Amino acid sequence: MSVPSPIIEPRHGQRSAFVTEHVRDLIVSGELKPGSRINERILVEKLNISRTPLREAFKVLEGEGLVSIRPNVGATVVALTLEAVEDSIEILIGLESIGAERAARRATPEAIEEITQLHERMVEAFQSHELMSYFHLNQEIHQKIIDAAQNAALSRVYAGESARIRRFRFAGNNDLNRWDRAVREHEQILDALVRREGPLLREILRAHHLSGWRAARLALEQTPSGEP
């Protein structure tokens, strides 16, 4: 998957944000290889912007854990090991455990309605085999459940950690059996939320993530480099 080059110049005051988003996509899509150094000049020419916003983007992405900056050397795409991803998954599960019980208690009817609609759209994406849109809706549902817990810190931390390892989780969706199973698990998740059964929701989410990661890990271990 290739990230298109910008045709229209971003407006004044949004260059930095634009560049950040673009470089993030380049990393997440794998176009910038994990472990490789990022040459500023090349990217600057490609994106048609100056080095200033690019270097600001690097700082942001470093905060997100996508690149690492060494003084006088520059930015390097972080190469995550499977173990590091597993660490993140464990934290995500922990955060969802915290969020699940709170969400079951505190979710507004509007939030539940929104999640239900997302769920239905996700099922549609599944039925028409639109993997990409399924994947995004899936992620969004999990984030919305967390948001329903109404803890700003939780939402922020979860979003950050989730973004970090997004590309790795994508790998698990290739198998159709797994995909089908994931959708059924999501049915249960929604059901538990609607019935506001906190502990149940927590356990389903936990199992859901574990089986999802098992599938992703299997797929990832096939690739020789250990990269998505």
Partner DNA sequence: GTACTTTATTTTGCATGCAATACGCTCGCT
Partner DNA sequence: AGCGAGCGTATTGCATGCAAAATAAAGTAC
51 belongs to the binding site for DNA (CB under 7 A) = yes
Pairing of strands 74-77, 67-70: antiparallel
Q: Measured between alpha carbons, how far is residue 194 from residues 68, 72, 112, 124, 182 in Å?
A: 42, 53, 7, 20, 18
Q: Three-state SS for 60?
A: helix
Of the candidates 21, 25, 87, 130, which one interacts with a second copy according to CB under 8 A? Answer: 87
Looking at beta carbons only, is 13 or 109 nearer to a second copy? 13
* Integer Cα distance of 67 and 81 in angstroms: 14
Residue among 54 and 171 whose Cβ is closer to a second copy: 54
How many residues make contact with DNA (CB under 7 A)? 26
Q: Which does 39 bind (CB under 5 to 8 A by kind): a second copy, DNA, none?
A: DNA
Judged by CB under 8 A, the chain residues 166 through 225 that form the site for a second copy are none
Contacted by 226, from DNA, a second copy, none: CB < 5 to 8 Å by type: none
For the chain, how big is the Rg over CA atoms in Å?
Answer: 19
64 makes contact, choosing from a second copy, DNA, none, with CB < 5 to 8 Å by partner type, with a second copy
Q: Which stretch binds DNA (CB under 7 A): 44-52, 84-92, 172-180, 200-208?
A: 44-52
Query: What is the spatial distance between Cα 207 and Cα 163, in angstroms, rounded to a whole number?
Result: 20
